[in-house]
Each structure stands twice: as structure tokens, then as C-alpha cells.
């Protein structure tokens, strides 16, 4: 089930902000009406692919903010684990220097509501609750507009890292559509021509490209 076209699930959870401050009641609702949001999940703190992604988003953070977009990360680790990882230098596998919020989904309800939890709870033959799967988040990414509506989602399996430039491209596409009412064709990027959502508009685009 996709969230595209629907309101992003609401939550309130602990998070680490600015790389060093734990807050107990973080929510994406603070951005509604003001900012776009790229909300992404990663599997676990203190791992291998995950820090490459978190640093990659930090390296492009100014580009997101220039477009009025906030970046927020989330995993099923605790806020204390996030904080410790944020204090660890990059050359030792840490994410020191990451300044955007990192949410703690320890209840796994955020991951479940966004459809990215890798695993399920079941009852065994003895009626006891058991976990099937790693019970961490897949590498999910959601582009949310200023009204809190999801316009793009991407969910990768655990070994597959994402392309941050593609997240920026999708943000540019959404902004272009909102500003000009033009739809964005395959491989479109900012500065290229888009097309009007009419047969004449498509014909004009194809004749010029």
C-alpha cells in the first residue's frame, strides 16, 4: 500500500536535533504550512551503509534548505543511541556533524505506519508473541509537501543505499509542478524543459527534444 497522494502519518517521538540535543516530543507537524520535508528511514545506528547515507544528506543539506525543505531521519534505535552515534567522528564510523533531526522510533509504530518495517509480530503455537524478521526499518524515503501530503516514496532493501541527488531531483520536480503547472518527463532536471499536461503540450515538448 502506497502513501503517495495521502497525508503523511502523524507521530510524536523523541529525536536528537542539532547533533547534540535530545527532545522528547518531535513531530513533522511543525513543518506543515511552511516547509517541504524529506523524511527518510535507515536500518540501524553503528552500521556500515547507514552512515554513508546520513553524511550524504548532510553534505547536501544546504541545497534542500535553499528549496525550503527540511530533512529528517528515523530509525528504530533509541534517542540515546542516536546521540552517542552523533558524537562519534566520521573517520571512526560515526555521524558527527549531522545537524538535521534523527527520530527514535523505539516502538516501531512510525516504521509500521509508513510501511517500512522489515518484519512482523506473530503468535506462535504456544500463543506467545514472536518477531519474524529483523524488525528494523527498510531504507524508506518520503517527499512530503507543505500541506503534509506525500508525493514520492522510495523503499530500498537493507543492503541498497540511496541516491541523495535523486531526492533533490524529485523535490525540484514537485516545486516546478507547483509553480508552473508543468509535468516533468523522464530524466528531467531543473533547467530542462518540462511539458504541459495536454496533447499539444506533449507534442511541443517532443518536437523540441
Per-residue CA distances from 158 to 41, 51, 154, 155 (Å): 11, 13, 13, 9
pLDDT tens profile 79-123: 999 999 999 999 999 999 999 999 999 999 999 999 999 999 999
**What is the model's pTM?**
0.93
Tell me the mean pLDDT in the region 115-140.
Answer: 96
Bridging pattern class, strands 36-41 and 69-75? parallel
Complete domains list, the chain, with CATH: 13-162 (3.40.30.10), 163-209 (no CATH)
pLDDT tens profile 143-184: 999 999 999 999 999 999 999 999 999 999 999 999 999 998
Q: Which residues are catalytic?
A: 50
% residues pLDDT > 90 (the chain): 88
Amino acid at each position: 500500500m502506497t502513501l503517495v497522494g495521502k497525508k503523511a502519518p502523524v507521530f510524536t517521538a523523541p529525536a536528537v536535533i542539532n547533533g547534540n540535543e535530545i527532545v522528547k516530543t518531535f513531530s513533522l507537524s511543525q513543518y506543515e504550512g511552511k516547509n517541504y520535508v524529506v523524511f527518510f528511514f535507515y536500518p540501524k545506528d553503528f552500521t556500515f551503509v547507514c552512515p554513508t547515507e546520513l553524511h550524504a544528506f548532510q553534505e547536501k543539506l544546504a541545497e534542500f534548505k535553499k528549496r525550503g525543505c527540511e530533512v529528517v531521519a528515523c530509525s528504530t534505535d533509541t534517542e540515546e543511541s542516536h546521540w552517542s552515534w552523533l558524537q562519534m567522528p566520521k573517520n571512526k564510523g560515526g555521524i558527527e556533524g549531522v545537524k538535521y533531526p534523527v527520530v527514535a522510533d523505539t516502538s516501531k509504530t512510525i516504521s509500521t505506519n509508513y510501511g517500512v518495517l522489515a518484519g512482523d509480530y506473530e503468535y506462535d503455537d504456544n500463543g506467545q508473541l514472536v518477531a519474524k524478521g529483523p524488525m528494523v526499518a527498510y531504507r524508506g524515503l518520503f517527499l512530503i509537501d507543505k500541506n503534509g501530503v506525500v508525493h514520492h516514496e522510495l523503499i530500498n532493501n537493507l543492503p541498497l543505499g540511496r541516491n541523495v541527488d535523486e531526492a533533490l531531483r524529485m523535490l525540484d520536480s514537485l516545486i516546478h509542478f507547483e509553480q508552473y503547472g508543468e509535468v516533468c518527463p523522464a530524466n528531467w532536471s531543473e533547467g530542462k524543459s518540462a511539458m504541459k499536461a495536454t496533447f499539444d503540450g506533449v507534442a511541443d515538448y517532443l518536437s523540441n527534444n
